[in-house]
């Protein structure tokens, strides 16, 4: 079976942490079922102008590279920030068509596996029609729990869901939204993400802290994610400020990640006088997150929406309890109070949940065992079954 993976979310040499779950899923299908893979990962066109630092990085991504022995192509497509979003799918399609046809001459494609319903899935459906191959589209989060609310994008998403041969949802919550958009039940498979048990497992907490050069005796909260409004770090800081005012801030918080809100969050930390207790640790390689999870007493995620947040699965696999908002796939991961605490998305609830977590006697071995239960091998089996089903129906 030869699969063309199509997704702008795929990692690259400049952005190695970008949506690594897409690479992990399909690398597992390759590893356990021998599926041949080629990847087309469109990126925005931008000239090499260093003064535009946020966009300059795209110009440095090669047109072709090999990632973990997977040939990966990066055609450029036009992006006009804040305007013209409804055209992105068309521009992706037009920029990728020549590349996909060229690949198909050397690599007989059996199906296209697309990730993110719009614009990626839209382009993939058109590519599938162009080369006469079936298309499976995976919904990941924002593409379904937010974009359908945009009047100009909603019909394009419905087009993708109607014209894809099959759709995959990473959680039941997104499946319900797709069903409400008119997608037949039997056309949707729910396949949550997994974890790599070789990368995420329990370590001695003191050992993990020594590795990070962190005091071994302090209590520690960790959160991992992009520094954007949706992740709720600014609300977390409000909560920590409340805890400080009440005289209960006896733990340190480490914020792992980077993003548009870095400067404003730094200012907020200074304004609240939290600099001795809160650290912006920056971006960390995925394989090094194991030390941060294991160093933590509690993991936190305060998102307004999610798909299937891998960071929660990774934290649990390291035996760390979670405090999180109950959005989308999160309740499908934290299925018991033995694994974590659900909180509403406001500072008061964040503060109560975090303090409760620090005062709870957790069974870390049980959390670890549960967190290790869903691996990428399991995911690969479920994905492969869907692929075979679609190919047999052709």
Q: Write down the pLDDT at residue 216.
A: 86
Helix axes of 233-245 and 347-358: crossing angle, nearest 10 degrees: 70
Q: Which of 368, 243, 245, 378 is nearest to 299 (CA)?
A: 368
What would the two tokens of residue 321 be? Answer: 């309890």
pLDDT of residue 394: 74
Common-topology check for domains 2-194+375-393 and 205-371: yes
Q: Global pTM? A: 0.91
Helices and strands per DSSP (H, E), number in the chain: 16, 16
Contact 86, 153 (CB under 8 A): yes
Q: What is the mean pLDDT of each run of 10 residues along the chain (394 residues)?
A: 95 88 94 95 83 75 92 93 88 97 95 97 98 97 91 96 97 95 95 95 95 92 96 98 94 95 97 96 93 98 94 97 96 97 98 98 97 96 97 88
Give the pLDDT of residue 47: 77
Residue 155, classified by CB atoms within 10 Å of its CB into exposed (0-12), middle (13-18) or buried (19+), is exposed
- How far apart CA 182 and CA 60 sit, in angstroms, is 41
Cα 43 to the chain's mean position, in Å? 17
For tokens 């964040």, name the residue: 350
Question: End-to-end CA distance of the chain, in Å?
Answer: 14
Residue 300 pLDDT: 98
Instruction: Give the single-character DSSP code of 276.
Output: T
Q: Please state, in angstroms and rounded to a whole number, the distance separating the CA atoms of residues 52 and 101.
A: 33
**CATH number of the 2-194+375-393 domain:** 3.40.50.2000
Q: What is the side-by-side strand order in the sheet with 298-301?
A: 278-282, 251-256, 219-224, 298-301, 322-324, 340-342
Please state the length of the chain.
394
Domain 205-371 sits in CATH at: 3.40.50.2000
Q: Are 236 and 324 in contact (CB under 8 A)?
A: no
Report in angstroms the alpha-carbon separations of 122 from 25, 137, 386. 21, 9, 20
Half-sphere exposure of 63 (CA within 13 A, CB side): 6
Specify whether the CB–CB gap between 387 and 136 falls below 8 A. Answer: yes
Give the containing element (helix H, strand E) for 224: strand 219-224
Q: Got the DSSP string for 50-109?
A: TTSHHHHHHHTS-SEEEETTEEEE--EE---TTS-GGGHHHHHHHHHHHHHHHHHHHS--
Cα–Cα dist 25/313, whole Å: 14
- The domain limits of the chain are 2-194+375-393, 205-371
Q: What is the pLDDT of residue 52?
A: 63
Q: Do the Cβ atoms of 25 and 195 come closer than 8 Å?
A: no
Q: What is the pLDDT of residue 51?
A: 61
Cβ(234)–Cβ(264) below 8 Å: yes
What is residue 81's predicted lDDT score, i.e. its pLDDT? 76
Rounded Cα distance between 117 and 157, Å, is 7
């Amino acid at each position: 079976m030869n699969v063309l993976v199509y997704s702008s979310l795929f990692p690259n040499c400049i952005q190695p942490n970008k949506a690594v779950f897409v690479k992990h899923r399909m690398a597992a299908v390759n590893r356990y079922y021998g599926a041949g893979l080629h990847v087309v990962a469109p990126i925005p066109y931008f000239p090499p102008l260093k003064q535009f630092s946020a966009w300059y990085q795209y110009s440095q991504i090669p047109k072709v590279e090999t990632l973990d022995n997977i040939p990966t192509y990066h055609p450029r497509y036009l992006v006009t920030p804040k305007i013209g979003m409804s055209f992105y799918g068309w521009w992706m399609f037009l920029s990728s068509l020549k590349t996909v046809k060229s690949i198909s001459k050397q690599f007989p494609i059996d199906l296209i596996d697309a990730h993110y319903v719009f614009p990626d899935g839209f382009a993939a459906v058109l590519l599938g029609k162009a080369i006469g191959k079936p298309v499976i589209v995976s919904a990941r989060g924002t593409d379904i729990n937010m974009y359908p609310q945009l009047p100009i994008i909603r019909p394009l998403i419905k087009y993708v869901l109607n014209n894809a041969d099959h759709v995959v949802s990473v959680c039941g919550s997104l499946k319900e939204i797709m069903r409400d958009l008119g997608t037949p039940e039997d056309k949707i498979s729910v396949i949550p993400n997994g974890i790599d048990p070789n990368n995420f497992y329990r370590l001695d907490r003191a050992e993990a802290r020594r590795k990070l050069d962190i005091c071994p005796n302090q209590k520690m909260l960790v959160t991992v994610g992009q520094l954007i409004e949706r992740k709720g770090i600014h609300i977390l800081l409000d909560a920590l400020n409340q805890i400080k005012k009440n005289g209960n801030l006896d733990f340190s918080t480490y914020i792992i990640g980077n993003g548009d809100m870095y400067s404003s969050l730094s200012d907020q930390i200074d304004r609240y006088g939290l600099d001795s207790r809160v650290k912006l640790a920056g971006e960390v390689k995925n394989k090094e997150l194991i030390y941060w999870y294991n160093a933590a007493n509690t993991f936190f995620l305060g998102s307004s929406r999610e798909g299937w947040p891998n960071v929660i699965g990774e934290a649990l696999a390291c035996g760390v309890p979670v405090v999180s908002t109950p959005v989308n796939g999160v309740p499908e991961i934290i299925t018991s109070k033995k694994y974590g605490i659900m909180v509403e998305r406001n500072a008061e609830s964040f503060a109560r949940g975090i303090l409760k977590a620090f005062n709870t006697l957790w069974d870390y071995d049980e959390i670890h065992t549960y967190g290790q239960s869903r691996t990428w091998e399991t995911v690969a089996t479920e994905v492969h079954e869907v692929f075979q089903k679609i190919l047999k129906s052709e």
